[in-house]
Amino acid sequence: MQRRDFIKILGLASGASLMNSCGAKKGAEKLIPHVIPPEIEIIPGQAIYFNTTCTECPANCGVSAKVVEKTIDQQLERYPVKLDGIKNHPVNDGKLCIRGQSSLTRLYDPERLKSPLMKDENGEMVECTWDDAFTRILEALKNSDKKHAYISSRTTGTLSSLIDTFCNRLNIQRLKEFEIFSYATLREAHKVLFDRYEVPSYSIDEADFLLTIGADIFETHGNPVSHMIQYAKARKKGMKWTHVEPHVSLTGLQADQRMVLNPESELYLLLYLARQLAGNRLTQLPDPGLDRVVQSTGLTEEQLKDITTAFQNASRPLLLIGEIATSSEHGLEVAVLSGLIQWTSGMMERGIDFNHSLNYDSVGTFRDLKALAWQLQNQDMGVLFMSKVDPVDKHPISFYLKENLSAADLVVGLSDFMPVLSDDYDIILPLSHSLESWGDAETRKGMRTIVQPVLEPLHNTLCEGDILLKILEKRSGRALAPNFQEYLFARLKRTLSNDKVEALLDQGYVETSTPVGKLNLNLRSVRRFLRDITLPQLPEGMVLIATPSLKSFDGRSRQLELLNEIPDPLTTITHDDWVSISEGAAKERGIKEGNVISIAVGDKRIMELPVKIQPFLSDHVVMVQRHMLDTFALSISDKTGDSINYLSRLTMQKTGSNVDLAIMAGSLSQEGRGVIPNPAHHDAHHHVEGRKSLYPEHAHENYRWAMAIDLDLCVGCSACVAACYIENNIGVVGKEEHLKGREMSWIRIEPYYEEDGTAHFLPMMCQHCDYAPCEAVCPAYAPYHNPEGLNVQVYNRCIGTRYCSNNCPYKVRRFNWKTHEWTDPQNRGLNPEMWARPKGVMEKCTFCIQRIRFAKDKAKDENRLVRDGEVVPACAQACPTNAIVFGNIMDKESEVYKWAHSDRVFRVSEHLGTEPSVYYLQRKRDDHSDHA
Amino acid sequence: MKKLLITGYFLIFILIIVLLGGLWSSYRDAPDQPIAFSHKKHLTYVGLECDHCHQYAEVGLQPGIPAVSVCMDCHEAVATDSPEIIKLTGYWNRKEPVPWAGVYYLPQHVLFTHKRHIKKGIDCSECHGDMKVVEKVRQVRSLRMGWCVTCHRENNAPVDCWTCHK
């Protein structure tokens, strides 16, 4: 083809496409009004907030759902676009963790079950109507003379009582609820000690010395968000904290003093501590002797003395145990002994609260799962209901359960995603998300919270309560209640006063009075128990520790893409499963990061996973998040029914294959670059006043926005990262892109492991430099400095040269390599206050400029300036420890001004002369950390 | 041959101009509405104010499109036999919203707030023209960035990019 012909055709084609694209716009966008204005008025463009309850984990935090009206597919509907904590909520006081934030992506996940499914003759799962499903269930219930059973995950409140009614009327046995994290050991210990099979709630905020043994209070234990809030309060009052663990956990890294003991040797430590701290009353305790304690635990004599002295010197010490410490063979002994120390040091009156214990009354243990598997194996199961539970974990018992599930006449699953065992299910009923359902929860004694719908169900789903009511109605022809909402309200009105019900609906929670029961030590059972304690043999060689997961909890959140996209804070790995080993162990065996190793117990191969080298990990410990194990190798404690999360007699072998792990951090060390200078160099040579610049000084009229982050409070929980993704419509790109370094997160947590055994977690986002290197190099003038001190990106000007990103020393600019697909219904959850940037555009943190704009708009209405604390960026709002403050640094009364003038302050790479607007506060150093 | 080529060239050129011309008129044209609502009737003859129907103009980003029930407040009794009102009643009886065609279009990355402009005392007609004489609504301002910025400059309003871009 001639060049000219080509140009001619090109001209015609572009003319035609121009006509098409422009012509389509006119009148195509429909303005859809309401038919009748809704009861709750929404001003167009303004959000409204509903108080409800998070159901991502048993903590049941209060959630304030931000809801906007949107026209999608010519339908005007309300959609939640952001979740945050309810202010002053007794559990989570305005904060929400990484999983709570991501709950919104569960709602909009395209993989959710969209209609009831039934197995046809060929064994295929096909869509069916609700009515067909109910008919089949009722037929099976009627025709089978075997027993029927109902198993669910932890369920509280009205739904739990409805399940009871349902089971009674249809002659179904309600099994103990199943939770992988059932706290069975703790509960058993409290039964031995006080005759109370309960999990108490904790308040850390009053403690002046905290000793945690194995408990991952910031990750999964009890209520992590409330622990973080309390920790921040205590920390500001100067609380000292010692953490003892055999592995490396996020919680442990935050402690002033982190001590590493040998796996499963907690009993020796506790025996030592009990003798030292609980006094002479415990004469029947075996005495291993100091030497043996030192030898078994691997702690030095000095460390042991440190703990006891700190404990004895403290006026309000607090001891918490859990997770790793209670999940060994001797977990129960450990828990009982620490219960004794807690009791004798008066912690039950202060810090450990049995009057508001967590509601685990009907939660069973793995033992109950054994009974179920047995029943299945005996061909004695008619209809089995499995609600929100995938009781297949890492134990042989789950294997039997899985093998025998098909022995039941009919297995009915209630789930939001396709269950792991879906092959063996006969009917799968899709559940609505909690944001689409009515309900309530009683997460702990004296606390009721409401679950209320904020949108119409997106798919053909029902909430569990409605399903049960409909089955009952179909059976008897008479409705117990027209729907679960009515049923709920009837019960609420029966059990609460009118004002309480109103308060419940309005603020999302009410506190009710609980009987104050006095704890009594059951001396007889304690004596009997202590008499039977024997000194255990400790495992030799390599030990594997299966840990809970910050992001996936017990594995229930692993299908959420957003959580996979956010780096694990310890290793910065995304999207992958891995096993952590120490540098020493890797060197010894010639293993490199990414090498797939095969791990065997004895001669039984249990898993193959790629390796990540974990700083601070002991050479004889292998660490893996339990949901990443793809094996039934873990065992169950005979004494408590809890899971034992240790495997010993390990052998490790390279398989020869390799996996490219998506590791986001270039290094887990500062490499001596002084990212976090030590000591903070407020007036050191880095900071040069009156630096010469080619550019004129920036003038600021009323506002100059700045942020300050206290590294002493940041625990690396990554709630801010999830909040940022959702607030700013940031695309989720997947592992392939991550491997190319094309991640999109605007804020990231940088873990730095220091040589002195401490670790830092540094949240890094656009530093909004006064002399921003990105601004000077853009040929299109897309990044510029606005009059309020923000470094802003004008997306429409951006032509994608990516010079700015190359020139940014903080690596915070993100380029859209492709247009992100927000498939329906994900597009419904986009924040309308923010544009979803298209391909070819550079983007980055804006300090949540939409929130600044909102606050300024409001201030202008009231003819004033924005007040301090009125603008809260999404990261700061989510941060459970309030480690981030934001505000106008020109206002000398503002919090951010005070923080920026703290004597711990520094800015990252200050020597570059970029003059960032983000100030960091160095971790508080003390005597402890120096020799830790 | 050469002559033919030149003629062809011209033909293509003319075609493009015609196409563009067509585009321009379609840009200027008022889109068809599901119901031929007349602003003139309601504002001039009935004497309604803008905010009778667009009640959020002073408080919200968008002025709000009135709910069908607002129309029916009057039209349950008024002009019930007119063909357009029969259409309206049809929507109401089916409990369907009227799918009004959007006339003023702003790209997704632009944030425009009616509230700020109305509170500043800018009359609706500055941007929408005199609706009292309009039967069928069409766009009367370009809504291009230059047009916005000119006005902002004249009135000392902020011209920082992120005032209006999102």
pLDDT tens per residue, range A842-862: 999 999 999 999 999 999 999
Cα dihedral: A681, A684, A686, A688 (round 10): 120
| ipTM for the assembly | 0.86
* Partners of residue B95 in chain A, C-beta under 8 Å: 35
**Could you tell me the two tokens for A105?**
């992506």
| Mean pLDDT taken over chain A | 89
- Taking an 8 Å cut-off on Cβ atoms, the answer to whether A45 and B61 are in contact is yes
H helix and E strand count, chain A: 27, 41
* Partners of residue B161 in chain A, C-beta under 8 Å: 784, 786, 792, 794
pLDDT of residue A927: 41
Classify burial at A489, counting beta carbons within 10 Å of its beta carbon; exposed 0-12, middle 13-18, buried 19 or more.
Answer: middle
Query: DSSP assignment of A218-243, as one string?
Result: TTTSS-HHHHHHHHHHHHHTT-EEEE
Closest CA to A770 of A782, A750, A788: A788
**Could you tell me the two tokens for A311?**
């404990």
Mean pLDDT throughout A767-781?
A: 93
Nearest-CA distance A33 → chain B (Å): 5
- Taking an 8 Å cut-off on Cβ atoms, the answer to whether B26 and A23 are in contact is yes
List Cβ neighbours of A366 (8 Å cut-off, separation of 6 or more): A182, A184, A393, A395, A397, A636, A641, A642, A643
State how far Cα A694 lies from the chain centre.
46
- Taking an 8 Å cut-off on Cβ atoms, the answer to whether A853 and B105 are in contact is no
A790 in reach of chain B (CB within 8 A): yes
d(CA A560, CA A556): 9
A862 in reach of chain B (CB within 8 A): no
Closest CA to A47 of A10, A81, A76: A81
pLDDT of A932 higher than 60: no
- Taking an 8 Å cut-off on Cβ atoms, the answer to whether A36 and B67 are in contact is yes
Closest CA to A496 of A535, A448, A462: A448
Closest CA to A848 of A814, A876, A888: A876
Query: DSSP assignment of A433-489, as one string?
Result: PGGGS-EEEEEETTEEEEE--SS--SSS-B-HHHHHHHHHHHHHSS-SSSSHHHHHH
* Partners of residue A44 in chain B, C-beta under 8 Å: 56, 60-64
d(CA A332, CA A291): 24
- Crossing angle (nearest 10°) for helices A266-277 and A301-313: 40
A779 in reach of chain B (CB within 8 A): no
Closest CA to A339 of A537, A157, A525, A117: A525
pLDDT in tens, A543-553: 999 999 999 99
Which of A35, A794, A850 is nearest residue B97 as measured by Cβ atoms? A35
DSSP state, residue A273: H
A306 vs A929 pLDDT, higher one: A306
d(CA A700, CA A703): 6
Q: What is the 3-state secondary structure (H, E, C) of A850-871?
A: HHHHHHHHHHHHCCCCCCCCCC
pLDDT of A61 higher than 60: yes
**Could you tell me the two tokens for A135?**
């008919």
* Partners of residue B67 in chain A, C-beta under 8 Å: 33-37
pLDDT of residue A25: 57
DSSP state, residue A879: -
d(CA A678, CA A755): 12
A32 in reach of chain B (CB within 8 A): yes
The pTM of this model reads 0.91
**Could you tell me the two tokens for A829?**
């959850």
pLDDT of A231 higher than 70: yes
Closest CA to A625 of A539, A562, A564, A716: A564
B67 in reach of chain A (CB within 8 A): yes
Which of B60, B102, B109 is nearest residue A43 as measured by Cβ atoms? B60
Q: Which pLDDT band, with edges at 50, 70 and 90, does A37 fall under?
A: confident
Which of A30, A36, A43 is nearest residue B102 as measured by Cβ atoms? A30
pLDDT of A757 higher than 90: no
Q: Which pLDDT band, with edges at 50, 70 and 90, does A792 fall under?
A: very high
Q: Which pLDDT band, with edges at 50, 70 and 90, does A21 fall under?
A: very low
Phi-psi region of A734 (alpha: psi -120 to 50; beta: other; left: phi over 0): left
Alpha helices for A116-223 (secondary structure H): 130-143, 157-169, 184-194
Phi and psi torsions of A565, nearest 5°: -75, -30
The C-alpha R_g of chain B, in whole angstroms, comes to 21
- Taking an 8 Å cut-off on Cβ atoms, the answer to whether A19 and B23 are in contact is yes
pLDDT in tens, B97-155: 999 998 988 888 899 999 999 999 999 999 999 999 999 998 888 889 999 999 999 99
- Parallel, antiparallel, or unpaired: how do β-strands A579-581 and A604-613 relate? parallel
pLDDT of residue A711: 93
pLDDT of residue A376: 86
pLDDT in tens, A182-192: 999 999 999 99
- Taking an 8 Å cut-off on Cβ atoms, the answer to whether A32 and B65 are in contact is yes
d(CA A345, CA A273): 12
Range 16-55 of B in CB contact (< 8 A) with A: 16, 19-20, 22-23, 26-27, 29, 31-32
pLDDT of residue A6: 62
- Taking an 8 Å cut-off on Cβ atoms, the answer to whether B100 and A19 are in contact is no
B59 in reach of chain A (CB within 8 A): yes
**Could you tell me the two tokens for A437?**
């359902």
- Crossing angle (nearest 10°) for helices A484-495 and A498-507: 130
In sequence order, the β-bridge partners of residue A49 are: A66
pLDDT in tens, B151-164: 999 999 999 999 99
* Partners of residue A854 in chain B, C-beta under 8 Å: none
* Partners of residue A23 in chain B, C-beta under 8 Å: 23, 26
pLDDT in tens, A95-134: 999 999 999 999 999 999 999 999 988 888 999 999 999 9
* Partners of residue A29 in chain B, C-beta under 8 Å: 101-102, 105
Query: DSSP assignment of A56-121, as one string?
Result: SSTT--EEEEEEEEEEETTEEEEEEEEEEEPTT-TTTTT---HHHHHHHHHHH-TTS--S-EEE-T
A541 in reach of chain B (CB within 8 A): no
Nearest-CA distance A823 → chain B (Å): 18
Closest CA to A808 of A775, A839, A849: A775
Chains A, B: CB contacts within 8 A come to: 131
In sequence order, the β-bridge partners of residue A431 are: A462
d(CA A407, CA A376): 6
B103 in reach of chain A (CB within 8 A): yes
B92 in reach of chain A (CB within 8 A): yes
- Taking an 8 Å cut-off on Cβ atoms, the answer to whether A27 and B102 are in contact is yes
Closest CA to A389 of A442, A441, A428, A443: A428
Closest CA to A110 of A824, A831, A836: A824
pLDDT in tens, A319-330: 999 889 999 989
Nearest-CA distance A220 → chain B (Å): 37
Q: Which pLDDT band, with edges at 50, 70 and 90, does A282 fall under?
A: low
Closest CA to A459 of A110, A30, A726, A13: A110
How many other CB atoms are found less than 10 A from the CB of residue A55?
A: 22
d(CA A701, CA A23): 44
Q: Which pLDDT band, with edges at 50, 70 and 90, does A801 fall under?
A: very high
d(CA A809, CA A811): 6
In sequence order, the β-bridge partners of residue A652 are: A599
Q: Which pLDDT band, with edges at 50, 70 and 90, does A434 fall under?
A: very high
Classify burial at B95, counting beta carbons within 10 Å of its beta carbon; exposed 0-12, middle 13-18, buried 19 or more.
Answer: exposed
Q: Helix, strand, or coil here: A381?
A: strand
In sequence order, the β-bridge partners of residue A177 are: A363
pLDDT of A22 higher than 50: no
A418 in reach of chain B (CB within 8 A): no
* Partners of residue A81 in chain B, C-beta under 8 Å: none
A23 in reach of chain B (CB within 8 A): yes
Q: Which pLDDT band, with edges at 50, 70 and 90, does A492 fall under?
A: very high
Contact A626, A547 (CB under 8 A): yes
Mean pLDDT throughout A550-561?
A: 90
**Could you tell me the two tokens for B73?**
């407040």
pLDDT of A405 higher than 70: yes
Give percent of chain A with pLDDT exceeding 70.
94
**Could you tell me the two tokens for A212?**
């945690």
Q: Which residues of A673-696 are buried (b: 16+ CB within 10 A; e: fewer)?
A: eebbbeebbeeeebeeeeeeeeee
Q: Find where tokens 């957003």 sit.
A: A562
Which of A12, A29, A31 is nearest residue B12 as measured by Cβ atoms? A12
* Partners of residue A26 in chain B, C-beta under 8 Å: 26-27, 29, 31, 105
B82 in reach of chain A (CB within 8 A): no
* Partners of residue B12 in chain A, C-beta under 8 Å: 8, 11-12
d(CA A442, CA A59): 10
Best residue in A2, A35, A848 to probe B by mutation, most B CBs within 10 Å? Answer: A35
* Partners of residue B105 in chain A, C-beta under 8 Å: 25-26, 29
- Taking an 8 Å cut-off on Cβ atoms, the answer to whether B67 and A37 are in contact is yes
List Cβ neighbours of A932 (8 Å cut-off, separation of 6 or more): A256, A257, A258, A259, A756, A757, A758
d(CA B161, CA B166): 9
* Partners of residue B61 in chain A, C-beta under 8 Å: 44-46
Q: Helix, strand, or coil here: A714?
A: coil
Q: What is the end-to-end Cα distance of chain A in Å, rounded? A: 76
H helix and E strand count, chain B: 9, 1
